[in-house]
Amino acid sequence: MPAKIVLATRNRHKVGEIAAMAAGRGLEFSCLGDHRELPEVVEDQPTLEGNARKKSLEAALALGRWSLAEDTGLQVDALGGEPGVMSARYAGPGCDFAANNRKLLAALEGVEPRRRRAVFRTVMALCSPDGEVVLEDGVLEGSIGLAPRGTGGFGYDPVFLVGDTGRTLAELSSEEKNGLSHRRRAFEKMLPHLRRVAP
């Protein structure tokens, strides 16, 4: 029988990516969309670590189950690391992905390509049913393009050029993105801890 674990997110893109990475590893995921009785987690911590910890802890304690959560930020050098922990709400409360990308490109208007370096960073948190949390992180290096390109992925993917490939994350197939992403790198580091859930 697969071991049950709750993915503490309502973001269907994250659920899809993490479930694909975990395929064949003896884990059965539910997500917060399957537990509508749980209140929304307020992501009010000043760090990715703090928010990832909070999301995993609240779900694990409420459900009495193992829980996996993550918080991701885009950190742009020329903007002093912004949007960072504010990545989801960069263009304001309730904004959509397109508004965030427009604001980011406007903030970098006139900044030459070699000064547009950026990283995606994911912090993943695994929490046991009794509230013990472990954290791991993953980083993907790249830069911000001059205009959005590609239709895959979500969020800032259309404006994030991967390393020096000249391709945005949104121009990669989902298999390609899941093979190299910040989320994948955090997940790989989390695998030894996940063996406690599914030996």
Q: Which residues bind ligand IMP (CB under 6 A)?
A: 11, 43, 71-72, 87-88, 97, 100, 153-157, 169, 181, 183
83-84 vs 27-31, strand pairing mode = unpaired
For ligand IMP, the closer of residues 72 and 143 by Cβ is 72
Residue 38, beta-bridge partner list:
none
Least spacing, CB of residue 49 vs ligand IMP, in Å: 12
Report the distance separating Cα 148 and Cα 94, nearest Å: 21
> Quick one: angle between helices 12-22 and 182-194, nearest 10?
50
Instruction: Check 71, 96, 130, 137 and give the catalytic one.
Output: 71
Give the residue closest to ligand IMP by C-beta. 155
Task: For residues 64 and 89, give the distance between their C-alpha atoms in angstroms, rounded to a whole number.
Answer: 30
Strand 3-7 relative to strand 27-31, pairing? parallel
Helices (H) and strands (E) in the chain, counts: 5, 7
Catalytic site includes residue 44: no
Catalytic residue list: 71
